[in-house]
Amino acid sequence: MAGSPGTSAERYDAVDVIRTKRDRRELSDGQIDWVIDAYTRGAVADEQMSALAMAVLLNGMTHRETARWTSAMIASGERMDFSSLRSRAGRTLPTADKHSTGGVGDKITLPLAPLVAVFGVAVPQLSGRGLGHTGGTLDKLEAIPGWRASLTNDEMMSQLGDVGAVICAAGAGLAPADRKLYALRDVTGTVEAIPLIASSIMSKKIAEGTGALVLDVKVGSGAFMKDEASARELAQTMVALGQDAGVNTVALLTDMDTPLGLTAGNAIEVEESLEVLAGGGPEDVVELTVRLAEEMLAAAGVHDADPARALSDGRAMDVWRRMIAAQGGDPDAPLPAARESETVYAPADGVLVGLDALAVGVAAWRLGAGRARKEDAVQAGAGVRLHAKPGAFVRAGEPLMTLLTDTPERFARAKEALEGAVTIAPEGARPARRLIIDRIA
């Protein structure tokens, strides 16, 4: 067996490493460095790493262990370096990035990256595809005809210097240990281990080489972290890891009990992002986009910017168009639209006081906007369009949401997901939503 006592060429034994954490003892730096390297190259078996991940889930890690684990993940691959990045005018460009832990209707990256670039801060945004009820940024952008997610490092550097913003897929050389370990955690019930979540996210972001990082840690039914205490612990752990690595890192805890904006899907979220870039769009999307932009700019050393104005006067839209065109997309092309639609109506008069984000996300997923496995295809036009948000007064029989798909046989299961998702109360019971819960730095 890989990593067994008979493997004399290995510095450590996998079983001893597992026992250390199983018995609630700290792993040494040497043990951590070895087990990440050995697992990446196949000298530690999947079942052994599964046992170690479960021991971490049950017994936790100290900050030192988590930091070392993150460093070992980074060391498994390449590190990007933007220190030589220059604008077309020859000016040194600071860099800032944003990471969201995922939610429903979370299209913030799309308007945010070009908005920050308006102020001379380059945004190297490495993003992913969706899995389950949470949408993926790359899936949304791939709804734009011609747009491509895969860039070489040279292409990425060139676009950052020319346009100031890139949203693309991470290369295979960036923290390969994380790619292998995440797939294992996903099928062994160990995804929820906060040290492993934090190291997974931060190993990629630190290896990416950005100078500043803002984390959007979602809290609520549609988020990975359902309660504020867990979200706060994750945010604090990631901020500490970033600061330890020399990356100016802050985090916002933000609400995900209710979907962001009025759309959950791919093409329809691009459509909504364009509304924001044109100076309109839903209030919550605008509020979070502007606040994250302010945090990214401040972390990069820019303190006199007015992101809200850059949305309203068209400067962010100009950068968006250049960013999309630079990656082969046509910013003027019509977006794909679903062939079929079905409306969900309000069951009674009153104030909409609850709209469960998880239920909306699962409905969008079942309509074809998401995937159950990473190799599944998605429908660009599928999703859920909302006609009311909590706080609105609705009347019985009025449209609450429109379900969109190319395959109408999906409607039944999508509507099953929405059973109990809507709460309507007598007029006057208007809920107050706290979109931004806290800031952690």
DSSP of 173-224, one letter per residue?
A: TS-HHHHHHHHHHHTTT-TT-HHHHHHHHHHHHHHHT-SEEEEEEEESTTSS
Question: What's the farthest any 2 CA atoms get from each other in the chain?
Answer: 74
Catalytic residue among 50, 200, 203, 221: 200
Query: Sorting pLDDT into bands at 50, 70 and 90, what band is 376?
Result: confident
Catalytic residue among 98, 140, 204, 218: 204
Catalytic annotation present for 178: yes
Side-chain-side CA neighbours of residue 414 (13 Å)? 29
SS3 of 18-68: the string is: HHHHHCCCCCCHHHHHHHHHHHHCCCCCHHHHHHHHHHHHHHCCCHHHHHH
Among 276-285, 292-301, 372-381, name the one with the lowest average pLDDT.
Answer: 372-381
pLDDT at residue number 152:
92
Res 7 pLDDT > 60: no
Catalytic residue among 21, 68, 98, 99: 99
- Specify the domain boundaries for CATH 3.40.1030.10 within the chain: 96-326
- Specify the domain boundaries for CATH 3.90.1170.30 within the chain: 340-425
pLDDT at residue number 426:
85
The string of pLDDT tens digits covering residues 203-252 is 999 999 999 999 999 999 999 899 999 999 999 999 999 999 999 999 99
Res 134 pLDDT > 80: no
Catalytic annotation present for 139: no
Question: How far separated are the first and last CA of the chain, in Å rounded?
Answer: 44
pLDDT at residue number 84:
87
pTM, 2 dp: 0.93
Query: Does the domain at residues 14-60 carry the CATH identifier 3.40.50.720?
Result: no
CA gyration radius for the chain? 22
Sign of CA dihedral 119, 117, 243, 235: positive
CATH code for the structural domain at 96-326: 3.40.1030.10
Residues 6 or more apart whose Cβ sits within 8 Å of residue 229: none
Q: Which residues of 151-171 are buried (b: 16+ CB within 10 A; e: fewer)?
A: beeeebbebbbebbbbbbbbb
**Average pLDDT over every residue of 155-161:** 94
DSSP structure class, residue 336: P
Res 182 pLDDT > 90: no
Catalytic annotation present for 200: yes
Token output for 269? 């979220």
- Specify the domain boundaries for CATH 1.20.970.10 within the chain: 14-60
Q: Residue 58: what are its φ and ψ, rounded to 5°?
A: -80, -35
Res 405 pLDDT > 60: yes
pLDDT at residue number 5:
43
Angstrom distance (rounded) from CA 374 to CA 132: 9
Query: Sorting pLDDT into bands at 50, 70 and 90, what band is 133?
Result: confident
The string of pLDDT tens digits covering residues 319-333 is 999 999 999 999 999
**Average pLDDT over every residue of 60-87:** 93
Catalytic residue among 97, 139, 178, 216: 178
What is the architecture of the domain spanning 340-425?
Alpha-Beta Complex (3.90)
Catalytic residue among 185, 205, 315, 410: 185
pLDDT at residue number 131:
67
Mean pLDDT of the chain: 93
Query: Sorting pLDDT into bands at 50, 70 and 90, what band is 429?
Result: low
pLDDT at residue number 132:
66
The string of pLDDT tens digits covering residues 77-98 is 999 989 888 877 788 899 999 9
